[in-house]
Structures are given as structure tokens and as C-alpha cells.
Amino acid sequence: MEAVEDGAFTEVLMSAKGKIVRADFKLLDTPEPWRVVWSQQVENTPFAKVLKSAESEIRLAGGHGTHGPLAEVTIGMRQATQGFFARLGSRLVRRAAASTIDEAFEGLERIAGGEAPA
């Protein structure tokens, strides 16, 4: 991560070919407590060739963390593809999103010492 500011951050990624790519994200306002949503800024970026829009969400339910264990953590991604990927590559985009969500749950499991969902 770099350029972390109030309500925005940049994730530094490396492509399979070793090229560094930056992905900018902005936190979105949500009326619900214990819900965080952020959108990836795709316009005028290399991601615009594949994505029309991308949002990620984490929702916590049950206890409030400090008062006991959380009953449920939900992680989701909504992505709208465009161009070639809108017709033929959406399965690849969905697979990548599912892999990202699995990694997030594995990270939560390491932090909390519990079991990640199957």
C-alpha cells in the first residue's frame, strides 16, 4: 500500500511479467455500521481495458468485535467487465475475484486463529 489518505489508498501490484501496476481505491459512504465499501478507480487506467467498474465490500455481523466474537464476516466483490472480457473473459475475472476473496478469508483466519469458511 502507498498513498494512504483519508478515504483513499493505492495498492501496488506486480504483473506476471514483473511490471508494477498501481490500483487506486476510494472508500464509499455507507449508512450501515460495520460495513465498509470501496471502489477501484478504473477510468484512464490499465484496468479500464477489462473493467467498467469494481467494488469490494466487507460486512461484519453479530458481536461488535470488542464485546465478543463476530458471528459472521462477509466479503464480496462486484465487477462489471467491458470489451473482450464482457463477452468471453468474465469467467476469468470471476475466478480472479474468488481467489482474492479466498486469500482475504485466509488472512482473517491467520489473524483471528479460527477457521476460514470452505
DSSP 58-99: EEEEEEEETTEEEEEEEEEEEEEE-THIIIIIHHHHHHHHHH
Query: CB count, 10 Å around CB of 9?
Result: 16
Give domain status of residue 117, yes or no.
Answer: no
Q: How far, CA to CA in Å, does 59 sit from each of 10, 38, 113?
A: 21, 12, 19
Tell me, what's the pLDDT at 99? 76
Tell me the residue range of the domain where 46 lies: 2-112
Tell me, what's the pLDDT at 89? 61
Domains: count for the chain: 1
Tell me, what's the pLDDT at 63? 56
CATH of the domain at 97: 3.30.530
Tell me, what's the pLDDT at 114? 60
Tell me, what's the pLDDT at 68? 58
Residue ranges of the chain whose pLDDT lies below 50: none
pTM exceeds 0.85, yes or no: no
Tell me, what's the pLDDT at 101? 76
Residue type for 81, please?
T
